[in-house]
Amino acid sequence: MADGSVTSTRAGRRMRADARRNRDRILGAAVSAVAEHGAEASLEEIARRAGVGSATLHRHFSSRRALLDAVFQDAAEDLCAAARDLATAPDPAGALDAWLRAVARHAASSRGLAASLIPGGHDVCGASVHDKIVTAGEGLLARARAARAVRSDIVIMDLLMLVTGICLITERRPDGAAEADRLLGIALGGIHPAIPDADAT
């Protein structure tokens, strides 16, 4: 009886370890496929790359949205960490700009992330990724607004849609990440209050 219990426990542990390995392989394959093909990457292709069957993929991720949510969680956590690091930067406007550039870099490397940030983006992945990124940006925007370094009529979704639009336009270009950063730099000039011309009289 005891030997059977030990054997059963060991088998259960092996099954759990196998399941974890399968999940990790699926997630790794999904990250690669989404980077290449965006949120519409083939689930069958992801399963093939992971070396598992479609049934195994769906056992771990019940829907495309659940899989994409897992794919983009790392990006969301990175952006939350960046926001925390920038929260005490001496230049609130510069901190906000730096964070928005980080959003653009992540969106450029994780095709499909940008689409999750726009209204209706919950159709791409679950609400958790969207909400984490929005909340992280709101804190930096509030600080910049309090310092009067950002126009008072701007809300965080304005900025995320700006980043999203630029990333969606440039994501298929060979130098998309660099071009997105350049265009974002131009656009960010418009979110700050106008500075009077010192030579104007």
pLDDT tens for residues 157-194?
999 988 888 888 877 777 777 888 888 888 888 887 75
1 and 88 co-located in one domain: no
Q: Over the stretch 38-85, which tens digit does the pLDDT of each residue have? A: 778 899 999 999 999 999 999 999 888 888 888 888 788 889 999 999
Cα(2)–Cα(28) distance, integer angstroms: 39
Query: Residues of 36-53 as b/e, b for ≥16 C-beta within 10 angstroms?
Result: eebbebebeebbebbebe
Specify the range with the lowest mean pLDDT, choosing from 2-6, 86-90, 149-153. Answer: 2-6
Identify whether residues 189 and 110 lie together within a single domain: yes
- What pTM value is reported for the model? 0.72
83 and 143 fall within a common domain? yes
Domain that residue 23 falls in: 1-62
pLDDT score of 97: 94
Claim to verify: residue 146 and residue 131 sit in the same structural domain: yes
What's 174's domain CATH number? 1.10.357.10
Q: Are residues 106 and 39 in the same domain?
A: no
CATH code where residue 54 lies: 1.10.10
Residue 200 lies in a domain: no
- Asked, for residue 131, whether it belongs to a domain, the answer is yes
